[in-house]
Amino acid sequence: MRYKFDFGALVEHWPEFLSGALTTLQMTAFAVVFGLVIGILCAIGRRSASPFLQWLCGFYVETIRNTPYLIQIFFIFFGLSSIGIKLPIFVAAVLTLVINVGAYTAEIVRAGMDTIHPGQIEAAQALGLSQPQIYWDVILRPALERVYPALTSQFVLMMLASSITSQISAEELTAVANNIQSFTFRAFETYIVVAFLYLLLAVILKLAFYGFGQIIFPRRRRLGTAL
C-alpha cells in the first residue's frame, strides 16, 4: 500500500485552520476564567459549615466528574433546546466547558486548601483578620500557588477536550478540520496538521501559564521552589 502525501491541497484553507484555532483558544480562555471562579466557589462550598452547600457542591462535582463530557454537551445543547432554551452554539460549547472544568478545578483547589495547616488560620484569626480576609490571604493564595501546576495541566487537558464540542458543530479547530477533509478528501494530511496545531496551542498555553505564574507568585519566581 502506497500513500502519497499531498499537503498542497490544504494550503488554501489556512485561514479556516487559523480561525478554528482562534475559536479553540477563545473557548479555552472563557472556560479557564469562569471555570476557575466556579471551582473556587465550589471548593469553598464543600469546606463550608452548611450541610446544604456541602451537598450541593459535592453533587455537582461528582456528577460532572463521573459522566462523559460528550453526554454533558448533548444534555446541555439538545436537552435544553427540547425544553425551549436555545443557546447559540458557541455559548453552549463554552457553557459545557465551564461546567466541566469547574468541577475538576473545584477538586484541585479543594486539595490545595486542605494542605493549609490549621495553625495558619489560627494565626490569622489571632491577628484579627476577618473570615473573608483569611480565605483570600491565608488559604486561597497559598493553596493556588501549591496546586498551580495541577491546575494549569487540567486547563491544557480541557483545551484538548474542547475538540469534542465539534459534535455540536462549534466552529473550533476539530470541526474546521472535519469540514476541510470532507472538501479535500485529504483526511490523513488534515489531521496531521490539526494534531500539530493542537500541539502548538498546548505549548503556547503552557508557556503562557508559566509566565503568568511567574508574575502572580513572586515567591516561586524568586526561590524557584514548590511551596
Partner 1 sequence: MSAAVSLRDVHKRFGEVEVLKGVSFDVAPGEVVAVIGRSGSGKSTALRCVNRLETIQSGEIEVHGRRVDDPALDLRALRRDVGMVFQSYNLFPHLTVAENITLAPRRVRKTPQSEARHIAVEALARVGLSDKIDAYPEQLSGGQQQRVAIARSLAMQPKVMLFDEVTSALDPHLTGEVLKVMEALARGGMTMLVVTHEMAFARRVADRVIFMHTGKVWETGAGEMLAHPQTPELREFLANGL
- Chain positions contacting partner 1, by CB under 8 A: 117, 119-120, 122-130, 133, 137-138, 141-142, 145, 217, 219, 222-223, 225, 227
For residue 169, report the phi and psi dihedrals to the nearest 5 degrees.
65, 30
Reduced 3-state DSSP string for 51-82 = HHHHHHHHHHHHHHHCCCHHHHHHHHHHHHHH
> Of the two residues 141 and 206, which places its CB atom closer to partner 1 in the complex?
141
Confirm if 162 and 27 have CB atoms less than 8 A apart.
yes
> Residue 124 or 176: which CB sits closer to partner 1?
124
Closest CB 119 distance from partner 1, rounded Å: 4
Residue 88 vs 132, nearer CB to partner 1: 132
CA distance linking residue 40 with residue 43, whole number of Å: 5
* Smallest gap from residue 128 Cβ to partner 1 (A): 4
C-alpha to C-alpha distance for 71 and 74, rounded to whole angstroms: 5
In angstroms, what is the minimal distance from the CB of 74 to partner 1? 42
CB proximity list for 59: less than 8 A, separation 6 or greater: none
Question: Cβ closer to partner 1: 138 or 168?
Answer: 138
In what helix (H) or strand (E) does residue 189 lie, and over which residues does it extend? helix 187-216
Comparison of 56 and 116: residue with beta carbon closer to partner 1: 116
**Whose Cβ is closer to partner 1: residue 89's or residue 121's?**
121
Q: How far is the CB of 130 from partner 1 (least distance, A)?
A: 6
Contact 38, 56 (CB under 8 A): no
> At closest approach, how far in Å is the CB of 192 from partner 1?
44
CA 18 centroid distance within chain: 21
The one-letter code for the residue type at 10 is L
Q: How far is the CB of 226 from partner 1 (least distance, A)?
A: 10
